[in-house]
């Protein structure tokens, strides 16, 4: 679960954006004393993520709202499942509804897509990694959703891990420096930080290995070249495959023997899950 302050801030920001406490329709048409119960209902199969922040939205609208979760985070559910129940003032339920659903639908979508990728590589050594291709301001929540789906978080930000990508290589070359020079410079400046080097052809592999990084990223390479990279690396660095990965290609990539496969789609392209909030009196 993300840190409590992350959840509180995300809910507060979304409620402020929606001006939930100024809901001109609800405040005019719903009596302040009217109470009811609402149920989150799954309209399709999925994996749950984000109920904590969804329910926090209701708490911030009205702390008297009673919340009961019926499905655990990271648990698979089928269409027709009631995921949670909310009881309390109808005004509060309606004011928080859209914000709660936005979080729940999108985070559960990432968890569901992640689970599909994880299942697709079952039995291989490869783990499924996320990327930094996240919604601005929601990275910790979206990376949490990936964990709920069984994926592994990788390089949360620019400070926890170094990655020499193609543009960095060009900058180094412009100054007459090698990949090894770049890795050495990172280790001098930030000792203990893991380093990854990106390559896009086998011709670059030996130079990357000589630089002695912890990780080498094989970007948009064929499975034939990936398999050869695995054989030539012989465990000297961990190998991550990336680029154009989908549910049809991920299994063949995993079977090359790479250690990990990164999939940006887990956070930038997951389609919102169909979940409704049904109110009863």
In terms of DSSP H, where are the helices of 149-218?
A: 166-174, 179-189, 205-210
What topology does CATH give the domain 119-268?
TIM Barrel (3.20.20)
Mean pLDDT on 83-101 = 97
Token pair of 229 as six digits: 């990279």
pLDDT(30) > 90: yes
List pLDDT tens digits, range 144-156. Answer: 999 999 999 999 9
pLDDT score recorded for residue 16: 98
Q: How high is the mean pLDDT of the chain?
A: 97
Question: Where residue 268 falls among pLDDT bands split at 50, 70, 90?
Answer: very high
Phi-psi category of residue 103: left, alpha or beta, with phi > 0 → left and psi -120 to 50 → alpha: alpha
Mean pLDDT on 189-210 = 96
List pLDDT tens digits, range 34-76. Answer: 999 999 999 999 999 999 999 999 999 999 999 999 999 999 9
What does the alpha-carbon distance between residue 218 and residue 132 come to, in Å, rounded to a whole number?
A: 17
List pLDDT tens digits, range 237-262. Answer: 999 999 989 999 999 999 999 999 99
Query: With contact defined as beta carbons under 8 Å apart, do 15 and 57 qualify?
Result: yes
Inter-helix orientation angle 51-61/4-18, to 10°: 60
Nearest in space to 111 (alpha carbons), one of 271, 276, 277 = 271
Active site residues: 98, 133, 165, 198, 219
Question: Where residue 1 falls among pLDDT bands split at 50, 70, 90?
Answer: confident
pLDDT score recorded for residue 134: 97
pLDDT score recorded for residue 260: 98
Model-level pTM? 0.95
E-assigned strands of the chain? 35-42, 46-47, 66-69, 76-77, 82-89, 127-129, 162-164, 195-199, 215-219, 238-242, 260-262, 275-280
CATH of domain 4-114+271-280: 3.90.1170.20
What does the alpha-carbon distance between residue 47 and residue 109 come to, in Å, rounded to a whole number?
A: 8
Token pair of 246 as six digits: 């989908």
The dihedral built from the CA positions of residue 96, 98, 99 and 101, taken in this order, carries a sign that is positive
pLDDT(118) > 90: yes
What percent of the chain is modeled with pLDDT above 70?
A: 100
Mean pLDDT on 227-241 = 97
User: Where are the domains positioned within the chain?
Assistant: 4-114+271-280, 119-268
What does the alpha-carbon distance between residue 204 and residue 229 come to, in Å, rounded to a whole number?
A: 10
Token pair of 24 as six digits: 């001109």
pLDDT score recorded for residue 41: 98
């Amino acid at each position: 679960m993300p840190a409590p302050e992350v959840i509180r801030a995300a809910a507060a920001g979304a409620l402020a954006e929606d001006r939930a406490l100024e809901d001109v329709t609800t405040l005019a048409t719903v009596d302040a004393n009217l109470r009811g119960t609402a149920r989150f209902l799954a309209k399709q199969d999925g994996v749950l993520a984000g109920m904590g922040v969804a329910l926090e939205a209701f708490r911030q609208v009205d702390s008297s709202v009673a919340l009961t979760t019926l499905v655990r985070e990271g648990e698979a559910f089928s269409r027709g499942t009631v995921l949670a129940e909310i009881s309390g003032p109808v005004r509060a339920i309606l004011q928080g509804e859209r914000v709660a659903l936005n979080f729940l639908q999108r985070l559960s979508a990432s968890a569901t897509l992640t689970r599909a990728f994880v299942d697709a590589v079952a039995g291989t050594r490869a783990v499924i990694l996320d990327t930094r291709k996240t919604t601005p301001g929601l990275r910790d929540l979206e990376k949490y959703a990936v964990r709920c789906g069984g994926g592994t978080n990788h390089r949360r930000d620019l400070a926890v891990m170094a990655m020499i990508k193609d543009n960095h290589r060009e900058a180094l070359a412009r100054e007459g420096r090698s990949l090894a020079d770049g890795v050495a410079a990172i280790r001098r400046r930030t000792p203990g930080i893991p380093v990854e080097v990106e390559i896009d052809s086998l011709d670059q592999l030996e130079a990357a290995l000589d630089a002695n990084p912890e990780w080498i990223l094989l970007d948009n390479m064929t499975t034939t070249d990936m398999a050869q990279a695995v054989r030539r690396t012989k465990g000297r660095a961990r190998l991550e495959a990336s680029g154009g990965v989908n549910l049809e290609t991920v299994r063949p990539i995993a079977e090359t023997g790479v250690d990990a496969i990164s999939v940006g789609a887990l956070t930038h392209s997951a389609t919102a899950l169909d979940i409704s909030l049904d109110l009863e009196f």
